[in-house]
């Protein structure tokens, strides 16, 4: 039997006035997701424990069947794994966003989707400067998403469980002062962030971007710190060979750490302009070539639309996922015999707040051995009416594979 999971990241939401009082899932034309719901079961799951910050690192870990209370050490170590960065037992990885701060407020947590070449230039400048400490090593990623590794060099790092940092996408348009790093190691993190400001301001390439009218990166923002996690492989836990399609390093890294094959897709951007159809084709090809028993397709676009507070873009992204991924993948699976298909996001991301949120998300499962439960649509209202409610989201994966 083959299995598939489609993740419309952050899709769960509230009713929107601009959508006639409907949620994006209710407002979107998603006949293929509705078909999954109508031919199977609909329920809700909570992937983010109340004691943990809501984010894709926690949410997807739970969605993949790993209790984040047991396995989670931080977001950045997962992204380090995606880049093949080895962490020593005393090392720490830290997420390094390139951001735009204006008048003390987080104007853009992406520096307006800063181009890769400029981002690399700024990261290289940070590395040359070393921000005053030989322990730091910067790694360029994709656009605003970059990494900083603290190499302990056989001495304990200053960070610890009580070190507090804030994801920049959680404070869009807000004053940054209340959200600066706090606790052990915070002085070192603040020093790096402060020293990045004059470096970026004096970068000629950054100045050219400013002159063109685009927002520039004014500094780096450090968050999501953590040490190397220790996972059991997915195949050991569930007996399935996994593969993941994503444009986000976090998902690539988590996939590699649990033993999945990472499928790279040209045109996958991690943004609203991603090539949805290419992702759908790659999922089918992965199954056709028997590279995996379980294929996961992650799409970041719905989450990005929420971070921008753009309801129309969120609806459009949903419809693209439905048309180009859920529909073709479901059709292929049905043509091959026994299968199961799951559609589920990792966490809610509200258009109103532009941030990740705690709470239940709707899921739908259909396929072999799954008896329809009477639902006809895939949305928050249908999920709330279901008797299937998982307070621990990590129990959803065993439900998918249950015989």
The phi, psi pair for 213, rounded to 5°, reads 100, 0
**Any residues with CB less than 8 A from the CB of 17 and at least 6 apart, and which?**
none
d(CA 248, CA 264): 11
d(CA 319, CA 264): 23
State residue 133's pLDDT score: 67
**Any residues with CB less than 8 A from the CB of 84 and at least 6 apart, and which?**
none
- Dihedral in degrees, nearest 10, Cα atoms 146, 198, 150, 49: -60
State residue 131's pLDDT score: 61
State residue 135's pLDDT score: 86
10-residue mean pLDDT profile of the chain (403 residues): values are 98 97 98 98 97 92 97 91 90 96 96 93 89 80 92 86 93 96 95 94 90 90 93 96 94 95 95 96 98 98 95 98 98 97 97 94 98 96 97 97 87
State residue 211's pLDDT score: 86
The number of beta carbons lying within 10 Å of the beta carbon of residue 289 is 8
Q: What is the pTM of this model?
A: 0.85
Domains of the chain, residue spans: 2-71+231-401, 82-226
Sign of dihedral through CA atoms 191, 194, 200, 201?
negative
Fold of 2-71+231-401: Alkaline Phosphatase, subunit A (3.40.720)
State residue 297's pLDDT score: 98
Strands 389-390 and 40-45 come out as parallel
CB 102 within 8 A of CB 222: no
d(CA 82, CA 254): 7
């Amino acid at each position: 039997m083959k299995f598939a999971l489609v993740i419309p990241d952050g899709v769960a939401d509230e009713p929107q006035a601009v959508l006639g009082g409907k949620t994006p899932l209710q407002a979107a034309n998603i006949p293929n997701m509705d078909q999954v719901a109508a031919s199977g079961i609909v329920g809700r799951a909570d992937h983010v424990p109340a004691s943990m910050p809501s984010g894709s690192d926690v949410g997807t870990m739970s969605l993949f069947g790993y209790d984040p209370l047991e396995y989670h050490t931080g977001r950045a170590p997962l992204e380090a794994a995606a880049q093949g960065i080895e962490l020593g037992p005393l090392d720490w990885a830290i997420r390094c966003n390139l951001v735009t701060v204006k008048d003390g407020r987080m104007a853009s947590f992406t520096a307006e989707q800063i181009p890769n070449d400029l981002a690399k230039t700024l990261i290289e400048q940070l590395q040359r400067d070393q921000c005053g400490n030989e322990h730091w090593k910067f790694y360029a990623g994709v656009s605003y998403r970059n990494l900083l590794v603290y190499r302990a060099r056989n001495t304990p790092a200053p960070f610890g469980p009580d070190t507090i940092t804030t994801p920049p996408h959680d404070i869009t348009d807000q004053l940054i002062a209340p959200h600066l790093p706090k606790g052990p190691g915070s002085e070192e993190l603040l020093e790096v962030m402060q020293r990045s400001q004059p470096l970026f301001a004096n970068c000629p390439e950054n100045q050219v971007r400013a002159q063109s009218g685009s927002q520039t990166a004014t500094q780096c923002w450090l968050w999501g710190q953590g040490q190397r996690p220790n996972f059991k492989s997915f195949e050991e836990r569930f007996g399935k060979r996994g593969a993941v399609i994503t444009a986000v390093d976090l998902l690539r890294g988590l996939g590699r750490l649990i033993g999945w094959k990472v499928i790279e897709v040209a045109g996958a951007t991690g943004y609203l302009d991603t090539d949805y159809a290419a992702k759908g084709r790659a999922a089918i090809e992965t199954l056709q070539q028997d590279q995996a028993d379980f294929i996961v397709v992650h799409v970041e676009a719905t989450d990005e639309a929420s971070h921008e507070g753009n309801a129309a873009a969120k609806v459009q992204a949903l419809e693209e996922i439905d048309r180009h991924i859920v529909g073709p993948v479901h059709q292929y699976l049905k043509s091959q015999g026994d299968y199961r298909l799951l559609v589920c996001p990792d966490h809610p991301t509200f258009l109103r707040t532009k941030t990740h949120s705690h709470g239940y998300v709707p899921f739908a499962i259909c396929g072999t051995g799954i008896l329809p439960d009477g639902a006809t649509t895939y949305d928050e209202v249908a999920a709330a009416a279901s008797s299937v409610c998982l307070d621990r989201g990590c129990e959803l994966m065993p439900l998918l594979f249950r015989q």
